Amino acid sequence: MNKTKRFLIVSFDGLRPDLVTSKLTPNLWSLRKLGVTLANHGTVYPSETRSAFPSLVTGATTGCHGMVSNEYVDRASKPPRAIDTSDARLLRQLDIETGGKLYSVPSLGEILAAGGRSVAVLATNTPGTTRLFHHNAEDFGHIRLSGHFREVCTPDDILGEIEARIGPLPPAPPKTEPDRAGQDWITSAFLDVIWPKYQPDVTILSYGEPDTTSHFHGTGAEATRSIITYCDRQFGRVLDWWEAEGRQEDVQIFAISDHGHISGHTRISVADSLRGAGFNPGVAPAANVDVVVVPGQAGALYLADSDEAKVARLVATITSEPWCGPVFTRAKDEVNGIAPGSLSNRLVFADHVRAPDVSFSFRAHDIIDPFGLVGGTFYDNNRLPGLGLHGGLHPKELAAVGIVAGSAFPDIGSLSLLPSGICDVAPTILYLLEIDAPKTMSGRVLGDLLRPASTPEVAIRREVFEARLGGYKQVLRRVALGDISYIESGMAQS
C-alpha cells in the first residue's frame, strides 16, 4: 500500500442525507460522481454532536469512549457535578484530573502521534466540540483551530501565522444568525496555510452548520437551506484544490455528517411530569434533588439513589406519558433493562459508567413537517415548534452523510448499500496507513469500498428488540453486517 496517503475528513454538522441534492449542494453532489456514496450510513446513540464526533475519532460507540451525551452527570467527582461538554476549558481540566481519561479509549490523534503521524483540526463548532476532535492536540504539537474561539486554538504561533495571512478570527455570530464568516475562515486557513506548509496526515475540516441554523430556524427553512449551500460553496473550494492538487498527492476525502435533524412539534416538560409523580427534579445534582434531568433532546435521568426499585418507578412514570419514546436502563440480561418496560442500554451501545440511570428518546413520528421533510417529535426546550432537533432514534436523526473519494476507493460513481457508520471512518484510515487499530475500536474497515470486485458477500441480518409495560410498547431495530451491528431506529407507541 502507498504509505504516503493522506486524509481529509470534511464534516457538515447536522446535515441530513436527503438534503444533499444537485441544486442545494452541487459540490457534494459532484463528489458523489467522483467517489462512493454510502447509502445506508448512520450515527451513534445518542444522536448528538458531542457523542458522534468522539465516535468519529475513536472508532467506538458512546458506551466505549464515554461521551454519553452533550451534557452528563459526573458521578466520579465528589460531590457529583453536571458536565457541559461544550466547554473546552472544562474538558481540558477533566482530562488532566483523570490522568488522560477524558476518553475511555484511545483517539485517532493519540494513535497517529504514537506512529509519528500528524492530525490537524479546523472547526466552527462549539469550543468543546472542536477540542473533542483532538482533545490533547497541544500535548503532541498538533494543530487544532477554531473558526471563532481563541481558547481552543493550538499552537499559538500557527494561529498567528494564519491570522497574519487571512485575517483575525471572526467573532461568533448570534445563534439566530447563520455562520458564514467562520466557514470561510477555516476553509482559507486550510487551503492557504495548513495544507501548503504542513500537509497533515489527517485533517478534519468541520463546518458547524447547518446544525445551529436548523435549531433556530427549522431543518428545511430558507435560512438553513441558504447556509447549507454556503457551506457547500466552501467545500467547492476544497474540491477544486483536490482535483487540481490533492488528488495527485493521494489525499483521500471522507465527506460526512454527524447526525440528521427532525422537527419539534409539541413542547412538554419532563421535570413537570416527574414533579407530578412525586419526584423532586433538578438540572444539576443538589441536596434536595432526587433526579437530575439533563437538558437536551437526548433524555438522560440520573437518580440520587439508583437502586432498582427507584429506577423502575422512574421508568413507569415516563412510559405513562405520551411524549416518551424508547427507554433504556442498565442490563438485566442480553435484551432487557433492569426496569420493566425498558431495554438494555447495551443494545444501543451506550453502557458506560457515565451513562444515566434512565436514558430515553422523545417520541417521534413519521409526520411531514412544515418544510415537507419527514420526521417530527415531542421536545423539551423553550423554543417554538417547527425547529430542528436531534438526539433520539428516529431514522432521520440517525441517518448521516457518507461519501468517500480517492485512489483507495476505485468504484467511482457507485452506491454502497451495505450498512456503515461514523465509527467506521477511523479504522478505515488506520488500515490504509498500515497502522494496527486498537481493539477498542468497534467500527469496521470499509473493505467493501477498497476492493469491491473481490469482496466476498457478507450476510446482512435484521435484529428487532421489543419491551412492554402496560399499554406502552417500544421497538428497537438494528441491522448487522457480520459481527457489527448498526442502529436503524427506535420507536414507541401506546
Residue 328 contacts residue 337 (beta carbons within 8 Å): yes
The percent of residues above 90 in pLDDT, for the chain, comes to 97
Measured CA to CA, the distance from residue 371 to residue 210 in angstroms comes to 15
Looking at domain 6-260+399-450, its CATH superfamily turns out to be Alkaline Phosphatase, subunit A (3.40.720.10)
Which residues 6+ apart lie within 8 Å of 200 measured at CB?
6, 118, 119, 120, 142, 143, 194
CA 125, 129, 130, 133 torsion-angle sign? negative
Measured CA to CA, the distance from residue 214 to residue 326 in angstroms comes to 24
**Packed helices 222-241 and 26-34: angle between N→C axes, nearest 10 degrees:** 40
Measured CA to CA, the distance from residue 85 to residue 103 in angstroms comes to 12
pLDDT at site 1: 42
Instruction: Note the pLDDT tens digit of each residue in 128-184.
Output: 999 999 999 999 999 999 999 999 999 999 999 999 999 999 999 999 999 999 999
Instruction: Note the pLDDT tens digit of each residue in 81-136.
Output: 999 999 999 999 999 999 999 999 999 999 999 999 999 999 999 999 999 999 99
pLDDT at site 84: 97
C-alpha cell at 483: 459481527
Fold match between domain 6-260+399-450 and domain 264-388: no
Mean pLDDT, residues 416-443 taken together = 97
Which residue in the block uniquely carries the three cell numbers 488522560? 100
Q: What's the half-sphere exposure (Cβ side, CA atoms, 13 Å) at 463?
A: 18
Asked: is 264-388 a CATH 3.40.1710 domain? The reply is: no
CA 152 to chain centre: 19
DSSP string, 385-443: TT-EE-SS--HHHHB--EEEESTT--STTEEEEEEEEGGGHHHHHHHHTT-PPPTT--S
Q: Which residues of 291-311 are buried (b: 16+ CB within 10 A; e: fewer)?
A: bbbbbbbbbbbbbbebeeebb
pLDDT at site 451: 81
Q: For the chain, how far is it from start to end, CA to CA, in angstroms?
A: 55
Instruction: Note the pLDDT tens digit of each residue in 221-231.
Output: 999 999 999 99
What are the extents of the domains in the chain? 6-260+399-450, 264-388
Measured CA to CA, the distance from residue 486 to residue 484 in angstroms comes to 7
Residue 485 contacts residue 479 (beta carbons within 8 Å): yes
pTM above 0.95, yes or no: yes
